[in-house]
A and B are shown apart, each in its own frame.
Chain A
Amino acid sequence: MLIQKHTKLLVSIAVVLPALVLLYIYLQPLVNLLTYDLFGLKPDSHLGASINFFFYDTVKILILLFLISSLMGVVNVYFPVERLRVFLTTKKLYGLQYFFASFFGAVTPFCSCSSIPLFIGFVNGGIPLGVTFAFLITSPLVNEVAVAMFLGFFGVKATLVYAVSGIALGMVGGFVLGKLKLDRYLSDWVKAIQTNTERADEQWEAEHTPFVDRLPIIITEGWNIVKKVLLYVIIGIAIGAAMHGYVPENFFTQYLSSDKWYAVPMAVILAVPMYANAAGIVPVIQVFVAKGVPMGTALAFMMAVVGLSLPEATLLKKVMTWKLIGIFFGTITVFIIVLGYLFNLIL
């Protein structure tokens, strides 16, 4: 019975996975067939191009999103955040703890409602504030949705630049914030926890569930992430597709080109109060880039939109004073602006 269940699961994975990959490879001809032959739209018309673009991008993004979410789910099974905490508190890492905290912030699926338990868990385990910040910075900044959207819209190179600089930002940001000795700006009850850390039960309990038993859960979670952002993806791509067909070439160049020194800070500062998720915003950004906004400015804008959000700030109010939240957000904003200039120089 149990063996049967596993075989069925493995067979369905063996069928679905290659099918998804094949669909991904042959997507453009398939979509052409659908829009131009079946719907009878003209490829050189605005409407035809927009609808073709819409179908192609939506399906492509959903496949990428599902695969990446599932992949991160697998990583997370073997390296959950509890294990990271044990790792960070028990090993001598000679500065590498900033890297590990930032890196695992990136690969851990992000949920804003977990940021407080995470924060307290880290503080409670005696992890320094700077290292905790390193995790806290990358956790929303580099997440599965942002990575999938970037891969789909900007390709491998831009995705790598985004992910690597995001992780670097977490490391440097955490390090700098750690050096500023900000512990006194934590909420009083958090300070009390800090002076009374528990290292007693620093044993990470591995759950010995076989991988095949976990796979259905991982895949369901991956699918849940896709379902959750589906609507935003569709709206974002629809707006992008509409703009693509109708906004004239080089429309934005006159305002946001890289030789205007104020373009990067303006884009970043505009982005901080914006609370959009990566799923909705990337398709629109892509049109901006296609119509003349430099890649670096666009990347900096994206980082500020996903990495810094006001709802997260209000959540953090539970554990820190407004002053600390201000310093935290201010530092990251400055770093993102610097990164934006840097990207414009090298990309």
Chain B
Amino acid sequence: MEIKILGTGCPKCKNLEKITREVVEQNGFEATITKVDDIMDIMKYNVMATPALVVNEKVEIKGRVPSADEIKQVLSKY
């Protein structure tokens, strides 16, 4: 699966990226993780509250940093 972290580089965004990487690693998900920090690219997802977690081009979580458990749940759907 293709995971994207949307965020302009604030601490919350970095935190989301870190947790997501950990979850992917620990659970052996097959995923590519890309950080999207260009504001116009972020706008394409119709997201105005960062950070956001996008999986296969679908916005799953936005405007907050979810717990590792919640990310795991989201990724398990794919």
Binding site for B on A (CB under 8 A): 80-82, 85, 111-114, 116-118, 120-122, 124, 193, 201, 217, 220-221, 224, 318
Q: Which chain A residues lie closer than 8 Å to B70 at the CB level?
A: 217
Instruction: Provide the B32-45 mask, 1 if CB < 8 A to any CB of A, else 0.
Output: 00000001101100
> In the complex, are the beta carbons of A80 and B67 less than 8 A apart?
no
Residues of B23-66 contacting chain A, CB below 8 A: 39-40, 42-43, 46-50, 63-66
A111-B49, A117-B47, A117-B50 known; 19 new pairs, CB 8 Å cut-off, are: A81-B49, A82-B47, A82-B48, A85-B48, A111-B63, A113-B10, A113-B11, A113-B13, A114-B48, A114-B63, A116-B8, A117-B48, A117-B49, A120-B43, A121-B47, A217-B64, A217-B66, A217-B70, A224-B64
> In the complex, are the beta carbons of A114 and B50 less than 8 A apart?
yes
Of all chain B residues, the one with the shortest Cβ separation from A123 is B43
**Chain B interface secondary structure, helix, strand, loop or mixed?**
loop
Is the C-beta of B12 less than 8 angstroms from some C-beta in chain A? yes
In the complex with contacts A80-B63, A124-B43, A221-B64, A118-B48 CB distance below 8 A: yes
Of all chain A residues, the one with the shortest Cβ separation from B10 is A113
Complex Cα spacing A117 to B49, Å: 7
Complex Cα spacing A112 to B50, Å: 10
Q: Which chain B residues lie closer than 8 Å to A82 at the CB level?
A: 46-49
Q: Which chain B residues lie closer than 8 Å to A193 at the CB level?
A: 40
Complex Cα spacing A193 to B42, Å: 14
In the complex with contacts A80-B63, A111-B12, A117-B46 CB distance below 8 A: no
Q: Which chain A residues lie closer than 8 Å to B7 at the CB level?
A: 113
> In the complex, are the beta carbons of A121 and B48 less than 8 A apart?
yes
For this complex, 20 residue pairs linking A to B, each with C-beta atoms less than 8 Å apart, are: A81-B48, A111-B10, A111-B49, A112-B10, A113-B8, A113-B10, A113-B11, A114-B49, A117-B8, A117-B42, A117-B48, A120-B43, A121-B43, A121-B48, A122-B48, A124-B43, A193-B40, A217-B64, A217-B66, A217-B70
Within the complex, what minimum Cβ distance (angstroms) separates B44 from chain A? 9
Most chain A CB within 10 A, of B10, B42, B46, B48, is at B48
Most chain B CB within 10 A, of A114, A116, A124, A217, is at A114
Q: Which chain B residues lie closer than 8 Å to A114 at the CB level?
A: 48-50, 63
Q: Which chain A residues lie closer than 8 Å to B39 at the CB level?
A: 116-117, 120, 318
Of all chain A residues, the one with the shortest Cβ separation from B67 is A220
Complex Cα spacing A292 to B1, Å: 63
Within the complex, what minimum Cβ distance (angstroms) separates B38 from chain A? 11
Complex Cα spacing A84 to B50, Å: 16
Q: Which chain A residues lie closer than 8 Å to B10 at the CB level?
A: 111-113
Q: Which chain A residues lie closer than 8 Å to B64 at the CB level?
A: 217, 221, 224
Q: Which chain A residues lie closer than 8 Å to B48 at the CB level?
A: 81-82, 85, 114, 117-118, 121-122
Of all chain A residues, the one with the shortest Cβ separation from B6 is A117
In the complex with contacts A81-B48, A82-B48, A85-B48, A113-B12 CB distance below 8 A: yes
Within the complex, what minimum Cβ distance (angstroms) separates B78 from chain A? 17
Within the complex, what minimum Cβ distance (angstroms) separates B67 from chain A? 7
Complex Cα spacing A114 to B62, Å: 11
Of all chain A residues, the one with the shortest Cβ separation from B61 is A217
Within the complex, what minimum Cβ distance (angstroms) separates A27 from chain B? 30
Top 8 closest A-B pairs, CB basis?
A: A113-B10, A121-B48, A81-B48, A118-B48, A117-B48, A114-B49, A117-B50, A120-B39
Q: Which chain A residues lie closer than 8 Å to B43 at the CB level?
A: 117, 120-121, 124
In the complex with contacts A80-B63, A116-B8, A201-B49 CB distance below 8 A: no
> In the complex, are the beta carbons of A80 and B8 less than 8 A apart?
no
Of all chain B residues, the one with the shortest Cβ separation from A109 is B63
Of all chain B residues, the one with the shortest Cβ separation from A190 is B39
